[in-house]
Amino acid sequence: MTRVVGLGLRRGLIELRQTLSSGTDLFGYALPAVFLVIALVWMRGSTIPGTEMALGAHSLVGSVAMLIVISGLMTMMQYLAMDREDGTLLRAKATPNGMTGYLFGKIVVVAGVAVISCLFVLVPGLFLVDGLTVGVDGALVLLWLLPLAFLATMPLGAVLGALFDNPRQASLMMLPLLGLTAVSGVFYPVTALAGWLQGVAQVFPVYWLGLGLRSAFLPDALAAAEIGGSWRHPQTAGVLVAWSMAGLVLAPGILRRMARRESGSAVAARRERAMTRMTV
């Protein structure tokens, strides 16, 4: 088993290196950073309502939360849908322990892509925004928050990827996800939204991850601006654990079902479909 995990991790590192040496991929990771920098410049001078803190600090941390969720959910999902279409997954299935190795590899790639996307945003962001600090307390929060964030999103991303047979359909999932970030207080405090929207936001992990990250990066005094006037760490952990459990309960069965259905003719049928789409 350790051998297979090792193979998977190495697989992930190889694919990570491949994506980092691809101009198109890098452009994709850098693009959100460009938009964010524009937004940060535009909101200079605004403050978080009821405080003296720059609104930019809130938004920068919020966008990191968004990127982590998008990576965990969307990137995982698209990789799975794509790898199923082009036969990568069937190869894994034809190899002993190949599926396990494949999944560990994907975890590494997705986590790596998330970290890189965040760096693209954080590095320029830190020059534009004052007041971000990570103390020992903050670092400790990140230590449980980030793994939990990946755990809450990646298995669900894999489940969605297994359900969509077509990478193009899978991309459509981006729309509800962007809608969700809009109500999750990523760019503007959620307290400014209508009460029922606040309720919706608090069901999903984006809001809670944003809250947790703010607790790590922003001064403690700013907790006053949050719902309930507190960072609500226990609730944050609770909601993220609940999503993780849901994903971890669903994923094995659905992934096994997906793997069972893979065969040469299934891949050939998808190829046929993709070819028709290209020529039409």
Partner 1 sequence: MYYDFDSVLDMTGSVLAAGSVADTPGAEPVIEVRDLRMSYGDKEVLAGVDFTATAGEVLVLLGPNGAGKTTTIEILEGFRRRSGGEVRVLGVDPEQGAELWRARLGVVLQSWRDHSKWKVRELLHHLGGYYAEFSTGDRPRPWPVDELLEVVGLTESAGTRIARLSGGQRRRLDVAIGIVGRPELLFLDEPTVGFDPEARREFHDLVHRLTDVDETTIMLTTHDLDEAEKLADRILILAKGRIVADGSADELSRQVAGETEIRWTRAGQRFVHSAADATGFVRELFRQHGDAIGDLEVRPSSLEETYMKLVREAEGGAR
**Interface contacts to partner 1, rule CB under 8 A:** 3-4, 7, 10-11, 14-15, 18-19, 22, 83, 86-88, 90-91, 93-98, 101, 260, 262-265, 267-268, 271
Q: Whole-number minimum distance, CB 94 to partner 1, in Å?
A: 4
Q: Whole-number minimum distance, CB 53 to partner 1, in Å?
A: 44
Nearer to partner 1, 105 or 185 (CB): 105
Spatial distance between the Cα atoms of 60 and 192, rounded to a whole number of angstroms: 18
- What's the angle, vertex CA 242, arms to CA 240 and CA 247, rounded to 5? 95
Nearer to partner 1, 14 or 192 (CB): 14
Q: 141 vs 56, 145, 190, CA distance in Å?
A: 21, 6, 21
Q: Whole-number minimum distance, CB 75 to partner 1, in Å?
A: 16
- What's the angle, vertex CA 149, arms to CA 49 and CA 50, rounded to 5? 5
Q: Whole-number minimum distance, CB 271 to partner 1, in Å?
A: 5
Query: Which runs of E-coded beta strand occur in the chain?
Result: none
Contact in structure between 145 and 231 (CB atoms under 8 Å): no
Nearer to partner 1, 15 or 165 (CB): 15
Q: Whole-number minimum distance, CB 267 to partner 1, in Å?
A: 7
Nearer to partner 1, 4 or 227 (CB): 4
Q: How many residues does the chain have?
A: 280
Nearer to partner 1, 17 or 44 (CB): 17
Helix (H, G, I), strand (E, B) or coil at 49: coil
Nearer to partner 1, 72 or 98 (CB): 98
Q: Whole-number minimum distance, CB 21 to partner 1, in Å?
A: 9
Indicate the angle between helix axes 55-70 and 98-128, nearest 10 degrees.
170
* 135 token code pair: 């103390």
Q: Whole-number minimum distance, CB 17 to partner 1, in Å?
A: 9
Spatial distance between the Cα atoms of 56 and 186, rounded to a whole number of angstroms: 11
Q: Whole-number minimum distance, CB 219 to partner 1, in Å?
A: 44
Contact in structure between 104 and 9 (CB atoms under 8 Å): yes
Host H or E run for residue 1: none
- What's the angle, vertex CA 219, arms to CA 46 and CA 123, rounded to 5? 70
Nearest to 79 by CA among 110, 104, 108: 110
Nearer to partner 1, 95 or 133 (CB): 95
- Terminal CA-to-CA distance of the chain, rounded, Å? 46
Spatial distance between the Cα atoms of 90 and 110, rounded to a whole number of angstroms: 20
Nearer to partner 1, 94 or 241 (CB): 94
